Amino acid sequence: MALRAIDLATLDGPSRIERPLATVTALPVAPRAAALGAARRERRRWFALGAVMLAVPFTACLAVLEVVR
């Protein structure tokens, strides 16, 4: 998530000198356990995707070799 800057000026508003600067909203920091859980789920997801990407061509090669034999 990115921080959001909110510009308070409009086209009809005061000049840049009189206008207040943009405000930035603060995002709460997630607890360490939640961050570790999210990282673990992300690793498992990418590991599963990598396993599929490896298994599919390997299985296709075995199928081709079986047909050729």
CA angle 21, 22, 24 (to 5 degrees): 135
Q: Structure pTM?
A: 0.48
pLDDT at position 32 = 87
pLDDT at position 43 = 96
Terminal-residue alpha carbon distance, the chain = 54
Distances (CA, A) of 66 to 18, 54, 57, 58: 78, 19, 14, 12
pLDDT per residue of the chain (69 residues) written in tens, 0 to 9: 455 555 555 555 555 555 556 666 777 877 888 889 999 999 999 999 999 999 999 999 999 999 987
Domain ranges of the chain: 5-68
